[in-house]
């Protein structure tokens, strides 16, 4: 019997595994990098061991250090979570060689399926070798890992070399393996997968289907079970193919077989030999705890007969600290408050007051709703997210709510290109026009020590806020009865407290819950920033300045580029790494590079000057793209989030999702499709 488990991971998935271990009476051990010293997963574990350093390559990807940590802490088993080392056969062997129980599939099964190239070879599918114009578009994809990292879509032949180089570097950084391959990229497909659970006694369960078609940057955003609208015959085929794949490698444990479904056909993508980020939707529908089943299987116990019957429908949304309207740019800072209404499941690796840093995946939480029908589950999840309290960096919360209520998604007509088609409409700002007034009144109440009423009428009080990219000015007066709104007019102040304001507009009362953290004010779901009474001096940058769009580390500067060099529009200049992905900063116009103040290894914050490109008419016409206020940033690839990290997006670490767009994959019997999942 297992008595103590070390989780070789971090964030959400580590916390989720610890929860099951506590329920089973098993002691827990965490490992942590230096930035994670006070992370939630280290706080909830019974013991924690430091992995010196910050980058995944020197911490969570160091299998030797993880094994030493397990032995030092007295653990007798290791659970890899998803991402990081979860699909590393050498790590699995190192765990068992050290006398520890490996809560995962046999190393030989990992080797057979964890590498996407080898998995396809098992099924007779060959990657593209010599790509021609006729093969385009294609997908460059990392052979190891997932989470969309190490993936690039190529639509022009001249972009292939750069895509290969970028994918190799990103894959090496995230997974310690720079092998990549190329496969056809198919548009308008659905991403469907089958959860597998197998014991060491020959029993294999196929636990329904999941649809993970809503993706961005090859990372899944919303997942559900069962996959809606699949013909019964196709569902049976998917189950049979998944079981066959598992039996082909004598699989033991939990795993997922992923497919693209297009034109009524199933195209094999890959088998993920680990738990997926989206496993909770299967748990909710089947009434199972997959982590508990993994532990029982690792102890040698058999699965109990037939799998349970599915009940109802479950939907999961991944809440990210990112700005979908700004190229999905990851956000950092303090998460002041995260609270989700009851009735839904919340899996998270963060607590109130925790810091969202630059080293790992920006997924804050997974919110899961289960209901008797799909329509009820969608409505339940959208409502819970809408009422959730999320105070901190910008998140994708509003995008999730709108996606769940989008007609195409409600009618189950979505595919992996959903966000390519609908992102602009889903990210149009729609702030509450009365939120600034509520913020001002709450602030006035909190600051008014002796009351602000005066017997002689005076000028109204004025406050200015920034909200949704615009400036809002509100005016109000203190009266003997409380507050009166001056602008906006026609509003009656029913109540004004420090944290609750009630306004009546056109006869309808509206409640506004207000919280303030420094100059940031949160009013219901809107975030506002209090502006100073007198504008502050603004730092001026030269025209053509390329500023860091996010905090991160400069990992590369283009070879041979020095001040005075001529650059083409769109030419890469600086590579930033943030939250497990690389972002390319390119020249917005053709011209002369006049400044290049950064070097590899430098940590930068948002707005740091990276380079200056002075436009030169003789060098060519300017390309569409931002300049001083926004460098051209290439969209990175990423797959499942790990609760945190490169571990995998499924780690959330290795799941795949797409920024909307096709995915690549292949049918064992026929054409190739494309695979958006970088892991699940």
**The overall pTM is greater than 0.85:** no
Examine the pLDDT at 14 and tell me if it is beyond 70.
yes
Alpha-carbon distance of 257 to 273, in angstroms, equals 9
Residue 53: per-residue pLDDT: 96
**Candidate from 113-117, 229-233, 516-520 with smallest mean pLDDT:** 113-117
For residues 290-317, give the mean pLDDT: 97
Examine the pLDDT at 636 and tell me if it is beyond 60.
no
Percent of the chain with pLDDT over 90: 68
Examine the pLDDT at 671 and tell me if it is beyond 50.
no
Residue 448: per-residue pLDDT: 55
Residue whose entry in the numeric block shows the structure tokens 């062997």: 93
Residue whose entry in the numeric block shows the structure tokens 């926004």: 630
Alpha-carbon distance of 615 to 417, in angstroms, equals 35
E runs forming strands in 337-444: 337-339, 345-348, 354-356, 363-371, 389-391
Alpha-carbon distance of 81 to 644, in angstroms, equals 11
Alpha-carbon distance of 407 to 413, in angstroms, equals 9
For residues 61-67, give the mean pLDDT: 98
- Report the interhelical angle of 279-286 vs 290-298 (nearest 10°): 90
Tell me, rounded to whole angstroms, the distance of Cα 379 from its chain centroid.
22
Residue 622: per-residue pLDDT: 39
Q: For the chain, what is the total number of helices (H) and then of strands (E)?
A: 15, 43
**Local confidence band at 642 (pLDDT 50, 70, 90 cut-offs):** very low
Exposure string over 478-488, b if 16+ CB within 10 A, otherwise e: beeebbebbeb
Examine the pLDDT at 634 and tell me if it is beyond 60.
no
The H-or-E segment that residue 632 falls in is strand 632-633
Domains parsed from the chain with CATH numbers: 4-113 (3.40.50.20), 435-524 (no CATH), 545-627 (2.40.50.100)
Alpha-carbon distance of 272 to 644, in angstroms, equals 18
For residues 290-295, give the mean pLDDT: 98
Average pLDDT for the chain: 87
Other Cβ atoms less than 10 A from the Cβ of 550: the count is 23
Residue 457: per-residue pLDDT: 57
Whole-number Cα distances in Å, 213 to 261, 305, 482, 517, 680: 10, 32, 52, 36, 12
For residues 209-233, give the mean pLDDT: 96
Alpha-carbon distance of 674 to 658, in angstroms, equals 11
pLDDT digit string, tens, across residues 445-493: 866 554 455 555 568 999 999 999 899 999 999 887 789 999 898 999 9
Distance between terminal CA atoms of the chain? 29
For residues 598-602, give the mean pLDDT: 89
Assigned token pair, 623 = 């390309």
Other Cβ atoms less than 10 A from the Cβ of 323: the count is 19
- Kindly write down the DSSP assignment for every residue of 440-509, as one continuous string: HHHHHHHH-SS----SS--PPEEEEEEETTEEEEEEEEEETTEEEEEES-SEEEEEE-SSEEEEEETTEE
Residue 536: per-residue pLDDT: 62
pLDDT digit string, tens, across residues 103-124: 999 999 999 997 778 777 776 7
């Amino acid at each position: 019997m297992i008595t103590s488990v070390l989780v070789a991971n971090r964030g959400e998935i580590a916390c989720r595994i610890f929860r099951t271990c506590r329920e089973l009476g098993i002691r827990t051990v965490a490992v942590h990098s230096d930035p994670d010293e006070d992370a939630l997963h280290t706080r909830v574990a019974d013991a924690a061991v430091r992995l010196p350093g910050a980058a995944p390559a020197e911490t969570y990807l160091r299998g030797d250090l993880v094994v030493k940590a397990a032995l030092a802490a007295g653990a007798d088993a290791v659970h890899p979570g998803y991402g990081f080392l979860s699909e590393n056969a050498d790590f699995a062997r190192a765990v068992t060689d050290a006398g520890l129980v490996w809560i995962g599939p046999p190393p030989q099964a990992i080797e057979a399926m964890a590498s996407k190239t080898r998995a396809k070879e098992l099924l007779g599918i060959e990657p593209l070798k010599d790509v021609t114009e006729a093969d385009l578009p294609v997908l460059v994809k990392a052979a190891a890992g997932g989470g969309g990292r190490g993936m690039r879509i190529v639509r022009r032949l001249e972009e292939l070399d750069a895509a290969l180089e970028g994918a190799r570097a990103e894959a090496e950084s995230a997974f310690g393996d720079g092998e990549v391959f190329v496969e056809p990229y198919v548009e308008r497909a659905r991403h469907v997968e089958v959860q597998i659970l197998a014991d060491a006694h020959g029993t294999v369960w196929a636990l329904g289907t999941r649809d993970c078609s809503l993706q961005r940057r090859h990372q899944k955003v919303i997942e559900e079970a069962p996959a809606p609208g699949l013909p019964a015959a196709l569902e049976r085929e998917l189950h049979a193919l998944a079981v066959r794949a598992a039996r082909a490698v004598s699989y033991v444990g939990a795993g997922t077989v992923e497919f693209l479904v297009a034109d009524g056909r199933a195209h094999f993508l890959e088998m993920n030999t680990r738990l997926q980020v989206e496993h909770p939707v299967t748990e909710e529908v089947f009434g199972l705890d997959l982590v508990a089943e993994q532990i029982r299987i690792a102890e040698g116990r058999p699965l109990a007969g037939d799998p349970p019957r599915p009940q109802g429908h479950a939907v999961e949304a991944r809440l990210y600290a990112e700005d979908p309207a700004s190229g999905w740019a990851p956000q950092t800072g303090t998460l002041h408050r995260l609270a989700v209404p009851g009735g839904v499941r919340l899996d998270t690796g963060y607590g109130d007051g925790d810091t969202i840093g630059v080293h790992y995946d920006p997924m804050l939480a997974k919110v899961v709703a289960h209901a008797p029908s799909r329509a009820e589950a969608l409505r339940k999840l959208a409502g819970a997210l809408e009422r959730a309290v999320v105070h901190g960096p910008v998140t994708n919360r509003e995008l999730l709510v709108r996606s769940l209520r989008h007609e195409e998604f409600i009618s189950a007509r979505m595919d992996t290109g959903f966000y390519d088609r609908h992102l602009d409409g889903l990210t149009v700002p729609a702030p509450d026009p009365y939120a600034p007034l509520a913020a001002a009144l709450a602030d006035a109440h909190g600051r008014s020590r002796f009351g602000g009423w005066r017997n002689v009428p005076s000028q109204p009080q004025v406050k200015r806020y920034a909200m949704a990219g615009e400036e809002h000015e509100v005016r109000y007066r203190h009266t003997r009865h409380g507050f009166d709104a001056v602008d906006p007019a026609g509003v009656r102040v029913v109540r004004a407290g420090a944290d609750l304001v009630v306004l009546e507009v056109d006869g309808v009362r509206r409640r506004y819950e207000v919280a303030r953290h420094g100059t940031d004010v949160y009013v219901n779901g809107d975030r506002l920033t209090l502006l100073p009474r007198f504008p502050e001096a603004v730092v001026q940058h030269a025209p053509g300045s390329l500023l860091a769009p996010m905090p991160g580390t400069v990992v590369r500067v283009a070879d041979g580029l020095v001040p005075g060099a001529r650059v083409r529009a769109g030419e890469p200049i600086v590579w930033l790494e943030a939250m497990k992905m690389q972002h390319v900063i390119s020249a917005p116009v053709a011209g002369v590079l006049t400044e290049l103040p950064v070097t590899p290894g430098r940590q930068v914050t948002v707005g740091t000057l990276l380079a200056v490109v002075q436009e030169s008419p003789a060098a060519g016409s300017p390309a569409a793209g931002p300049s001083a206020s926004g460098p051209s940033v290439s969209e990175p690839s990423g797959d499942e989030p790990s609760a945190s990290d490169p571990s995998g997006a499924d780690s959330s670490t290795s799941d795949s999702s797409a920024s909307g767009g096709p995915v690549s994959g292949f049918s064992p019997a026929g054409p190739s499709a494309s695979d958006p999942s970088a892991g699940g």
